[in-house]
Each structure stands twice: as C-alpha cells, then as structure tokens.
Structure 1
C-alpha cells in the first residue's frame, strides 16, 4: 500500500532533516521510551511481588469495598487512556500538529504515567483465592510467570511494533519516508498471532499466591486484552486483507495446535 505524505503539514516541517525540532523530537522519544522500559520492568515486580518496594499485595489494608472502588477507578483510568488515545480520530488531530514520532512517544508517556499512578495508589485486597503449598508446584508456577514476562520483554524488543506498522509509520530516525507498509511475522509471531498478549496473560495469572486484589487485576486486564485482540484483528484484516486472513488461518491465536 502506498502512503502519501503532505510535506506542508506543520508536523513534517517541524521534523525537517537537520532542524533543531527534529533533534528535540528524537531526544524526547528516547527519554520517553526509557521511562516506558523502567515502568515495564517495575510492572514485573509489581505483579510478581518481587524486588520492588510496593507490589500488588502490599500497602495499607482498607475495607474491601473502599479498596475495590479505588482499584476499579485506577484500572478504568488506565483502560480509558490506553484505548482513548489510540483512537484514529485523536491521532489525526495530534499528527496534524506534531510529527507521528512525537505523537507515539506522547501516547507511551501518558500510558507510563498512568501505570505509575496505578502502582503507587493500588490498594491490596488480601483475601486468599488460592495458595500453592508444594515447593515443586510453586517453582513451576513461578517458572510460567517468568516465561510470560520473558515473552513480553522479548516481543517488545524484537517484533511487536514491526508487525503492527500502520499508515502513520512514515518517519524513522534517519528522516526518511516509508512508502510501503510490509506485513511481517518476526520471532514468536511465526507460531502464535499474539505472543505479547499471551505473555501478559501468563504473567498475570501464574502466581502461587492469588489474592482477591491480584485476581481483580488479572481478570480486568485479561478482559481488556481479549477486547483489544478483537479490535486489532479487525484492523489488521481491513489493512492487510488476504495476507492477514491467510496468516490467521495458519497460525493459532495463543497456543499452537489448540487456539
């Protein structure tokens, strides 16, 4: 598919090769993605209950109704930001004034800040849902959780954004214009269609000690992931057509040979 770019737009002029604005935009993107990576690494400890000073099961214990209300609001804020800023209408408005690189970095920054707020303000719901006792079972569950996080980190670093290239992907760090968007399936995408989401689901649910608060977090995030998959696949079918339709028929959603 050919993409035409209006070089008269303020965003394109602002990011003209050699301009101070372009250098500033690249620096902004680097700082934002460093914040994002730190936030993602903190999320590993927050969900798994390791290393970080505050995790999903620590903090002042409020009455369950109060804690539930606060946590639902935090989750709702994250879902609203994450989905609202991803809408095409808002993206069109933003990219009319700033380059796509800056628009994407701003989205990532806002998502990181909302996650940081969620980590800081999350209220524990300590009621036990399940508790593994056998050391071998605990080790196996923790191994599944670690595998999930490795899939998440590996997918982000090796292929997630390449697979999801969109019409707005017209700029790169060299200042060139991308005229053709290629459909690629790097790494684990050759075996499952949504390795990133698979990694998150494994990481959220594989815990030897499931509390009510952890269950709330895992359930809401899993629901959001499933809704996101439906919307994402609809967009991919519309954009790539038969190429993605054939890929979907050939490759499982989560588990090869099953679904």
Structure 2
C-alpha cells in the first residue's frame, strides 16, 4: 500500500536480539540459582511432587535428559537443528544463544522439579557447616573463573544475540589456553564436578546426582576434544600433550627443574 509506514531497516533484527538476550540471561540466572540452592541442601528441597516409587523414574529421567540432549545438540546434526529453531534468517547467528536457553531450561527442570526422597544421611553443623559452605562457594567461584577463561559470552549465551545486535557474523573466541586452562584442559567440567561433592548436606538424591554427573564430566569432554582437534589440528594436539585432561600434574614443576 502506497504511503504505508515501513519499519526502519534493522528494527526487527534488533528487537529479536534484545528479546533473545533477555530470555537467555533470565533463564540462565534462574537455572544457576536453582542449582546452587538445590545442591546446597543436598537435593532435599525442591518442587517435585511425584509420588514414590514413581518419583525414582521421574528423577532418573530428569537426570538423564541433561547429558543426553546436551551432548546431542553439540553434534553437527544438533547444530543444524538449533539453527532452524528460530524462524527467519537469523537462526544460525543465534545458535549459541538458543543452545544456552535449552541447556538452562534442562538444568532448571533437573534442579527445580526433582522429587526429594526425604532421607538425609548427614548435615553439616557448626564449624563443619562453615567449612563445607566455604568449599562449596570456592567450587562455584572456580566454575565462574573457568567459564570466563573459556569465553563468558559463549558460556552464558551472549555470543549469539550480541552478534545479531551488531549485525556481524559470530566469531568464536580462540582456543582457550590461559587461566585455569594452563592447569587442566577441562577446568569447567572439573569445577562443576567439585560443586557436586562439596555440599554441606548429603542424601541419596545428592549421591545419585553427584555420581551420574561426575561420570558425565569425565566422559563428555572427550567429544569436545574431538571437535577441537578437527578445528585446531596440531595446535590442539600440542596443547593436549602439554596439559593434563582433568587432574593437574603436581610434579610438573619438579620435572622442569630436573630438565
């Protein structure tokens, strides 16, 4: 229709970027808060109300859905699927934001909808509570540090929507080798595993969670390293030979002194 007002170029793109940015950061913050609180109480306080023994199956489903879908979305097929989730031409640009939204929703479901068993084996008190709370807080600080070392914009989902806002092609950070990545190749997974085992309340629920997700933290990075080897080639292989996988080499300094 002649004379009809058309939106300025880029307005829809900017609106989509802002909407996705607000969505990912709100859901991400809610997921992190749910994780911190649920594990602090040993998974003994949550919103799940599935009657037992059916709750065991519901909890198992919640526990398995995260590592399975999380890893599946990182495959080539999963990446293509995520790029099509947002209609229009910007799905590819927003893929990392979409991935962070899905991962955050998965974690939020796991920790908010878990049905507690009602059994508490051990609960720290007095000086033990202070010590365990300090260790738990330190584990979370290490996780934050590792995430920043890897590229906080990618880990938080900001990379996609900020690229769209600036109307530029997403450019991933270089292969991380600084900070905690000098000590181990997978500091994010190591730090996350530490949060699982430093809680001040222990229940059957927390033990099941810690065992399952610790196994995931040891196995899942193998797939990540395959992608890094394809992307960075000899550079990653050299880094792989120099830096241990998950456990720092305590005798590294002595070996250098001997040489």
Is the shorter-chain TM-score for this pair beyond 0.5, marking a shared fold? yes
- 1:41-88 Cα shifts (integer Å, max 9, x gaps): 331111112xxxxx7102578776333211001112223332232221
C-alpha contact 2:44 2:120 (8 A) present in aligned 1: no
Alignment equivalent of 1:219, drawn from 206, 211, 236: 211
- 1:69 maps to 2:57: yes
| Number of the residue aligned with 2:134 | 143
Q: Is the 8 A contact 1:195 1:254 kept in 2?
A: yes
Query: Structure 1's 19 and 150: CA in aligned 2 closer, same or farther, altered over 3 A?
Result: same
RMSD: 3.3
SS at structure 1 position matched to 2:166: coil
After TM superposition, the structure 1 stretch with the greater mean CA deviation from structure 2, 194-203 or 148-157, is 148-157
Number of the residue aligned with 2:255: none
Q: So what's the TM-score if we normalise by structure 1? A: 0.75
Partner SS for 1:159: helix
Gaps of 5+ in 2: 1-7, 252-259
Maintained 8 Å contact 1:28/1:102: no
- Residues 98 and 81 from structure 1, CA distance in 2 versus in 1: closer, same or farther, beyond 3 angstroms? farther
CA contact (8 A) 1:56 1:213 kept: yes
Closer, same or farther in 2 for the Cα pair 1:158/1:224, shift >3 Å? same
How do 1:126-165 and structure 2 match up within 5 A?
126-130=118-122, 135-160=126-151
- The question of 1:57 aligning with 2:57 is answered no
For residues 208-247 of structure 1, the aligned pairs below 5 Å read 208-247=200-239
- Go from structure 1 to structure 2 and tell me whether the alpha carbon gap of 1:30 and 1:158 turns closer, same or farther (over 3 Å shift): farther
Structure 1 gaps, min length 5: 1-16, 50-54
Displacement of 1:179 in angstroms is 7.5
What is the aligned length?
A: 233
Asked which structure has the greater CA Rg, the reply is 2
C-alpha distance in 2, partners of 1:209/1:83?
29
- TM-aligned CA deviation for residue 158 of structure 1: 4.5
Cα distance in 2 between the residues matched to 1:112 and 1:250: 33
CA contact (8 A) 1:147 1:199 kept: no
